[in-house]
Structures are given as structure tokens and as C-alpha cells.
């Protein structure tokens, strides 16, 4: 199975955008040092152009997430530094969800048929699980931050996970982590590094939330085995 011309064009455009990001070293603007150095100027611009700042921030966040580029943590910190904890969390979560959904849809549109054509039989069991209990699985992956955000977007696009399930689990699952980073950004001067924000205690809390999301899955499997054993 080969890619259709329109899919090839879309793939080339996406790759070109990613290449340009690294060629022009645009990542230098998505660093903690750059954010802290330009914080006052960004605040002044926001005070003068509130709607434009929100729109520009969300557009940048959506593109960054859709193309799986680095910088999500810095953008979440920027949301807190510019908009405050509550509004910043709303903007960051919505933008990240839109970007993730675009990555999911594009991956499904470009690559899913190729992957299923080659590995369809092996993936059938996984696809059935995702169709039946995909929300719980994806919610677990979103809540536990050890799983790379962009890889989840791409991997989910290769399955039969329903789009509405992906969107709902994503927007619910990223709220806790998003809130933590945005809240830290509201006190930007005290942040030494993005990595320091996710303390072991915070990570353990997220892991427990993730395991809680899987309780219905474990219960369903236990009930099915118990029913089968009684027959």
C-alpha cells in the first residue's frame, strides 16, 4: 500500500516545518532563560494587546504540539507567567488538546492504513481493547508523566481508538500536570528549571491517579475471569 499524492504533500509540509524549526534554531526562544529574560516585555505586550497575546500563545502551543516539537513545559510556564494560574491552565490545556488532536488525526490520515496493512493481525487485540476501554488506558497514559506526550499522540493515531475518546481522555488527563506547570509559571522568578517542578511527590501523585483510572479495567477483567471460572 502506497501513500496517496495529497498525503505525501501533507507529510512533506510537516517534515519541512520541523526541519525549519531546527535549522533556524527557534527552540532558543522556548527556554527558561529566554522566558525569564523577556518576561517583562511579554507582560507589557499582554497588557496592551490581551486578545492578540492569548491568540498568539495558543497558536504557538497548538503548532508546537501538533508537530511534536520541544518546548511544551516552557509554554505552560509562560501561560502562568502571562495569564495567571486559572486562565493560563485553561488556555494551555485547550491548546495542548487541540495540538494533540491534530497530531492524532494527521497520523491516522497518513500512516494508519500502512501500519494496519502490515501489522493488522497483530494489532487486532489491542484495537479491540482500545475501542472498549480506550478512555481508561489513555487517561492512565496522560496522567503518568513518564510516557512522552507526543509519542502517545502518534501511537494512538495508529489504532482504532475513537477520536472523541482521544479528545476527552486527553483534556481530562493533562489538567493536573498542566496546572502544576502553569502554577509554577505564575511565580516564574522562583523556577530554577522545568525538571525541578515535577518533584518525586508530584510524580507519585500522578502515578496514583493513573492507577485509579485503570481500576474499572482491572475490575472488568476480574469479573470476566470470575464469571468464566464459575461456568
Task: Report the chain's mean pLDDT, rounded to a whole number.
Answer: 87
Least confident of 10-24, 45-59, 80-94, 217-231: 217-231
Closest listed residue to residue 63, CA positions, set 32, 31, 20, 28: 20
Give tens-digit pLDDT for 166-177: 999 999 999 999
Residue with the bigger pLDDT between 201 and 30: it is 30
**Mean pLDDT of the 195-221 span:** 76
Number of domains in the chain: 1
List of residues 6+ apart from 174 with CB closer than 8 A = 93, 96, 97, 142, 149
Give tens-digit pLDDT for 17-76: 999 999 999 999 999 999 999 999 999 999 999 999 999 999 999 999 999 999 999 999
Per DSSP, 186 falls in state T
Least confident of 7-16, 86-95, 139-148: 139-148
C-alpha cell read off for 61:
502551543
Question: 65: domain range?
Answer: 5-230
Q: Is the pLDDT of residue 104 over 80?
A: yes
Q: Three-state SS for 140?
A: helix
Give tens-digit pLDDT for 109-119: 888 877 777 66
Give tens-digit pLDDT for 183-193: 999 999 889 88
Let me know: does 38 contact 75? Beta carbons within 8 Å: no
Amino acid at each position: 500500500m502506497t501513500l496517496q499524492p495529497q498525503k505525501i504533500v501533507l507529510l512533506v509540509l510537516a517534515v519541512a516545518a520541523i526541519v525549519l524549526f531546527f535549522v533556524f534554531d527557534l527552540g532558543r526562544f522556548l527556554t527558561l532563560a529566554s522566558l525569564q529574560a523577556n518576561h517583562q516585555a511579554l507582560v507589557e505586550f499582554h497588557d496592551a494587546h490581551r486578545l492578540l497575546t492569548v491568540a498568539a500563545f495558543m497558536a504557538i502551543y497548538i503548532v508546537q504540539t501538533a508537530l511534536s516539537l520541544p518546548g511544551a513545559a516552557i509554554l505552560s510556564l509562560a501561560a502562568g507567567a502571562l495569564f495567571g494560574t486559572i486562565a493560563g491552565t485553561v488556555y494551555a490545556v485547550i491548546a495542548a488538546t487541540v495540538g494533540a488532536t491534530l497530531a492524532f488525526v494527521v497520523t491516522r490520515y497518513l500512516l494508519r492504513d500502512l501500519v494496519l496493512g502490515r501489522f493488522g493481525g497483530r494489532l487486532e487485540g489491542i484495537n479491540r481493547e482500545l475501542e472498549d476501554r480506550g478512555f481508561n488506558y489513555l487517561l492512565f497514559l496522560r496522567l503518568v508523566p513518564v510516557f512522552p506526550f507526543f509519542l502517545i499522540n502518534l501511537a494512538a493515531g495508529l489504532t482504532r481508538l475513537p477520536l472523541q475518546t482521544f479528545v476527552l481522555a486527553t483534556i481530562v488527563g493533562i489538567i493536573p500536570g498542566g496546572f502544576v506547570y502553569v502554577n509554577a509559571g505564575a511565580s516564574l522568578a522562583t523556577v530554577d528549571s522545568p525538571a525541578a517542578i515535577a518533584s518525586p511527590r508530584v510524580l507519585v501523585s500522578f502515578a496514583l491517579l493513573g492507577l485509579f483510572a485503570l481500576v474499572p479495567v482491572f475490575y472488568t477483567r476480574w469479573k470476566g475471569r470470575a464469571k468464566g471460572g464459575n461456568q
